[in-house]
Chains A and B, each alone.
Chain A
Amino acid sequence: MDKLGSWALPITILLLLLFGIFRKVPIFDTFTEGAKEGLKTSFTILPTLVGLMAAVTMFKASGALDLLSGALKPVTQFLGIPEAVTPLILMKPISGSGSTAIFTQILKQQGPDSFSGRIASVLACSTETAFYCVSVYFGAVGIKKTKHTIPAALMGDLTACLIAGLAIRFIFNGST
């Protein structure tokens, strides 16, 4: 089943190209136009990323992260979540760049193909940053009473935490 992943990418590119040809889009011109957007995004997130990655690295180096993960160990152990992934779960609903910072730390230390690395990868992209969505969308129309939005969104995040490990075990059955 893990072969499916390596097929997904070339097929997506092929389909996008065929779609562009079929719809008579000037392919390369459009591509470069879009790539420029990517460049802009990279530069806009850089300051945030510098601030947060410095903070997260400091938090880790000071030993505070170990204390925190240790304190939460009974809960995470019960849920079958590796200790290394705990900080990502805590950061995920709050900040996108913050969780990217923690995600890269986990990959660096545990390796991308380790069990923790894989769970972290799945969690990093299976949900969006809940508080960001709430503040952007409700903020744009001046809504202050968000009612059950945050509880429902956090239920989604919690589900992702519970399912990620199972899904990884199922797909790589036994090879991790």
Chain B
Amino acid sequence: MMLNWIWTGLLLVSILCACLTGRTEELANAVLSGAQSAVELCFATMGMMCFWTGMMHIAEKGGLTQLLAKILHPILKHLFPDLKPGSRAAGAICMNLTANFLGLGNAATPLGISAMKELKKCDPQCGDEANRSMVLFVVLNTASLQLIPTYMATIRAKYGAQNPFDLLPAVWITSICALLVAVLSAKLFERRKVRG
């Protein structure tokens, strides 16, 4: 939806700017080279992409997601006080978060949607307004932590990084800080709204 506007805006501004600054030739070349590099990128990353979805499929088949979900459960009790322990909503949330953690984007989204559906079932009066569990769940997803960011590393490798994974600790630190701040702000905003 939003991308419709952004994409059109990007093109219009580019064309306008190129005409004004006299860079129409560069612009014409950019159309070709941009589209070309998208295809190159896609093919260059395909191998790694397949390898990792393959490896992660082994984890999934072996039940690693369920196993981690069990470990995660005690933490979740504090984050979602409205949730009944052992409810289906709680299970779906755990599964979604672990899938994100393992970088299983394709598995995480359907799990997350079913978690949202369960959350809505628990609170049928909410209508079209989000309750605090829903907000926190979506916030957790926007700031999700990924153990091995393979896609980033693949692109780094393509552009000749000496060791594509050497900044992994920096990713973890940044990711954890972002997650903590996002969750804390969600909790703070929520409290302010309740009082106000």
A126–B174 CB distance below 8 A: yes
Q: Which B5-61 residues have C-beta < 8 A from chain A?
A: 6-7, 10-11, 13-18, 21, 23, 26-27, 29-31, 33-35, 37-39, 41-42, 45-46, 49-61
Q: Which A83-104 residues have C-beta < 8 A from chain B?
A: 94-95, 98, 100-101, 103-104
Contacts A31-B54, A42-B49, A53-B34 given; does A147 touch B193 at CB 8 Å: yes
Q: Which residue of A lies closest to B3 (CB)?
A: A95
B13–A64 CB distance below 8 A: yes
B50–A35 CB distance below 8 A: yes
What is the total number of residues of chain A having a CB less than 8 Å from a CB of chain B? 106
Which residues of chain A are near B162, meaning CB under 8 Å? 113
Which residues of chain A are near B17, meaning CB under 8 Å? 62-64, 67
Which residues of chain A are near B177, meaning CB under 8 Å? 159-160, 163
Which residues of chain B are near A22, meaning CB under 8 Å? 62
**Does B165 touch A at the CB level, under 8 Å?**
yes
Q: Which residue of A lies closest to B60 (CB)?
A: A34
A149–B170 CB distance below 8 A: no
Partner of B3, one of A60, A98, A145, A164: A98
Q: Residues 142-153 of chain B: 1 if any A CB is under 8 Å from the residue's CB, otherwise 0?
A: 111011110110
**Does B163 touch A at the CB level, under 8 Å?**
yes
Q: Which residue of B lies closest to A8 (CB)?
A: B168
Measured CA separation A92–B163 after assembly (Å): 24
Partner of A163, one of B38, B50, B178: B178
